[in-house]
Structure 1
Amino acid sequence: MNKLTLGGIIFTALMVLLTWLSIGGSKGGLNGDIVNMLAVAGAVALVIITVFVVIKYVRQMQNDTATGDLEEASWDDIGEYKNPVPMGWAIMFLGTMIWGVWYWTMGYPVNAYSQIGEYNEDVKAHDAKFAKKYADIQGNELIKMGESVFIAECKVCHGADGKGLDGKAANLHTRISAENVKNVVTNGSNNQLLGTEMPMPDRNGLFNMDTGAPITDAEIDVVASYVANGMQGEGADVFAAVCSSCHGADGKGMEYVAPDIAEFTPALVVNVLSHGKKGVIGKMPSFARLNDKQREAAAAYISAGLPDTDDLEGE
C-alpha cells in the first residue's frame, strides 16, 4: 500500500468519524430518524467516493502516459489525441441531461406548487390590499407613514437623525456635500435621479460659458462649496457660467434635463429609492421591495425636513 492510498484511508476515516460525531452530538442525534440516518449514509458515501476517485486520478496522472494519434490542429505545438470520450463521462453527461428533462417536466414541473410561489402570491395580495387602503393618504398622515418607513428601512445606514452615521451614508439634512459635488462634476453621473437614463457628462464635457474653456480644478472646488452651502457664498459666477444651463439659476433643476440640487424633492427621493444611487462614499442599493406608497411616504418625510438630533433627544 503506497502513501497516497494510506493517506486517503486515514482522511476518509477521520471525515467519517467527524461526520458521525457531528450528527450524533447534535440535538436529537440519530435516534432512529430515517432522515438523519440517510443524511449520514449519504455523507459517508460522498466522502468515500470523492477520496478514492481523487486517489485514482492522481495515481493515473503520476503513472499513465497519453497514447494515440494526434489531431492535425495544434496550438503552440500543443496538440490533442484522437481519444474517445471516457464511457463514464459520456454516461454521466447523458444521464444528467435526461434527469434535467425529467426534473423540469415530471419531477418538479415549473407550474407545480411551491412555498415560494405561495409566499409571492400572498405578498401580491397584501400589497394590493395595502395600496387600496392607503391610496388616498396625503399630507401629515403621509409624512407620519414615511417616518415609519424611514425607521424601518433607512435609519440603519443614515441613522435615526438622518445624519449618516459618521459618513457611512449621506447626511440627509443637506441636499449634497461638497465632496459629492466634486465627484459628480469630475466623473459624471448616471443615477437616474430623473427616473430615466439622463447622464451628466464628466468634466471633459463641462465648459465655462463666459471663457469658453473647460472647467478647471479651482472652479470645481469653488462651485462644490457653493452648491453644498445651499447656493450661497463664493462660486455663484462659476455656477451661472457652467451649471445653470441645466440645473437652473436657482439649482432647482429642469424637467427632463437635470435634477434639483438645491433641496430634496419627493420625486427625487422616490427615484433614488427606486434605482439606487452611487456617490463618493459608496453605492446605495435600490429599495424595490418597498411598494409605491411606501416610497412616496419616505420621500414626503425626507423632503419635509428631518428633525434635528436635539429634537429627537427631547422627545
Structure 2
Amino acid sequence: MKWLNLSDNVNLLSIIGAIVIIAVVLIVSLNVFKQMKIKKESVETSEHEWDGISEYKNPLPIGWAVMFVVLIIFAIWYFLIGFPLNKYSSIGEYNEEVANHNAKYKEKYIAFDDESKLNMGRNVFLLHCAPCHGAEATGINGKAQDLTNWSSVAGILDVLENGSTGLGYGEMPAGLVEGDDAKAVATYVANGMQGEVGKDVFETTCAACHGENGEGTEGVAPALNIYTKPDFIKMVLASGKIASADASVKVIGAMPSFKSMLSDEQVDAVARYVSTLSKE
C-alpha cells in the first residue's frame, strides 16, 4: 500500500494521530456506556429550570480536560518541531515550480514580436472571452458587450445613452449628454481626447467625475484618457464589471474579474487583441 509509507514523517504522524483518536473515542464511549448502567438515587442540577425541567450539573470529565491540554501541547509541538511551516510540502513545491515557469515565460513573452502577441491574445480571447462575447466579439446578440465598437463613437454613444456600471465605481446614469453634444463628446473620447471637437462639452459635463484631463477620480469614475488603449482593457479585466441595481441603467450583466485567472502576459496579450477589434 503506497499510502502506508512509514518513512514519510507526515504520513507516519497522521497514522499515529488516527490511531490515538480511535483509541480515545473507544475508551470514552465504553466509559459512557458503563456509567449509563449505574443508577443514581440523587443528582445535582443547575439553578436554571424550564417548565419544570432542570439541567444536570455534571463536572467536566477528566478525560476531556486532559485531551484538551494534550491537543494544545500537540499543536504547539506540531507547528514548531513536528512539521514547521517552512518545511517541505507538495503545495510549496508546486507553487515554486509555477513561479519559476511564470518567470521563464515572462522572459519569452517579452521577446515576442507584436504579431505573436496579437495571436496569443486572440487564442486567450477565444478560450476565456468568446463564451460570452462570441468568437467575433460581437456580444452574441446582446448577451455581452459588443467589443467591435466599444472604443468607437458608436460605442461611446451607447454608453452615454444607456449608462454604465463602471469598473467597481459608482453607476453612471443614462442621458447625461444628448443629441449633438453627445456626438461631440463621444468623438472627443474616441479620438483619445485629442482635438477641440467635444472638448468643451467634456469639460463642462464629464470632467466633474472623470477629471479635467480624463485621468479619472479614485472611487468615483474611471480614467477615460486611456479608453482607446490596451491599458483600459487591462483595467476591465482586473476589476470586472458589476451588474446595476438601478433599472434606469441599461447594462448587460456582471463580468468576473480575471485578475487571478490570467497571467500578466495573458492580460497584456488579450488587451492588445481587443484594442484592434473596433471597426471604426
Q: TM-score, normalised by structure 1?
A: 0.52
* Secondary structure of 1:160 counterpart: coil
Match status 1:222 vs 2:203: no
Q: CA RMSD in A?
A: 4.8
Q: Which residue of 1 aligns with 2:238?
A: 274
The change in CA–CA distance for 1:242 and 1:93 in structure 2 (over 3 A counts) is: farther
Letter matched to residue 284 of structure 1: P
Q: Distance in 2 between matches of 1:269 and 1:300?
A: 8
Residue 303 of structure 1, CA deviation: 0.7
Whole-Å separation in 2 of the counterparts to 1:178 and 1:66: 76
2:186 matched residue in structure 1: 231
Q: How does 1:114-193 map to 2 (within 5 A)?
A: 114-165=89-140, 167-175=142-150, 178=159, 181-182=162-163, 184=165, 189=166, 191=168
Counterparts of 1:248 and 1:170, CA distance in 2 = 25
Query: Which residue type is aligned with residue 89 of structure 2?
Result: S
**What CA distance in whole angstroms lies between the structure 1 residues aligned with 2:114 and 2:210?**
28
Secondary structure class of the residue paired with 2:272? helix
Q: How far did 1:139 drift? A: 3.0
Aligned-residue offset at 1:88:
4.0
Distance 2:256 2:106 in 1: 26
Number of the residue aligned with 1:313? none
Deviation at 1:80, TM superposition (A): 9.2
Native 8 Å contact 1:151 1:160 kept in 2: yes
Partner of 2:273: 301
- Out of 205, 208, 218, the position equivalent to 1:242 is 205
CA contact (8 A) 1:158 1:171 kept: yes
Shift of 1:276: 2.8
Instruction: Give, as a single letter, the amino acid of the residue that structure 1 aligns with 2:186.
Output: M
- Displacement, 1:244? 4.5
Question: Cα distance, 1:128 vs. partner?
Answer: 1.1
- Partner of residue 89, structure 1: 64
Aligned residue pair count: 218
Cα offset, 1:246, TM superposition: 4.0
- 1:167-215 Cα distance to aligned partner (Å, 9 max, x none): 554332242655995353xxxx562xxxxxxx44x57xxxxxxxxxxxx
Structure 2 contact 161–178 (Cα < 8 Å) conserved:
no
Matched position secondary structure for 1:277: coil
Identity %: 30
Distance 1:178 1:271, change over 3 A: closer
Name the counterpart of 1:30: none
Residue type of the alignment partner of 1:297: A
Q: 1:109 and 1:238, CA in 2 relative to 1: closer, same or farther beyond 3 A?
A: same
Residues 214 and 225 of structure 2 are in contact (CA less than 8 Å); yes or no, is this contact kept in structure 1?
A: no
Matching residue's letter, 1:110: L
Distance 1:180 1:124, change over 3 A: farther
Q: Classify the secondary structure of the residue corresponding to 2:104.
A: helix
Q: Whose RCO is larger (CA < 8 A, sep 6+)?
A: 2
Q: 1:222 and 1:305 mapped to 2: Cα distance?
A: 26
- Which residue matches 2:10? none
Structure 1: distance between partners of 2:178 and 2:55:
65
Shift of 1:304: 0.9
C-alpha displacement of 1:136 = 4.4
Q: Give 1:268 deviation, angstroms.
A: 0.9
Judging changes above 3 Å, is the alpha-carbon distance between structure 1 residues 34 and 129 closer, same or farther for their aligned structure 2 residues? closer
In structure 2, relative to structure 1, the CA distance for the partners of 1:301 and 1:225 (3 Å cut) is farther
SS at match of 2:163: helix
C-alpha change, 1:179 and 1:244, in structure 2 (3 Å) is closer
The gaps in structure 2 that reach 5 residues or longer are 5-14, 49-53, 188-197, 245-252
2:273 and 2:101 map into 1 onto residues whose CA distance is 23
Residues 225 and 166 of structure 1: CA distance in aligned 2, closer, same or farther (over 3 Å): farther
Summarize deviations over 1:246-305 as a string: whole Å, max 9, x none. Answer: 4479xxx71243422995421111122223332341241233343322211111100111
Match of 1:103 in 2: 78
Q: Is the 8 A contact 1:180 1:279 kept in 2?
A: no
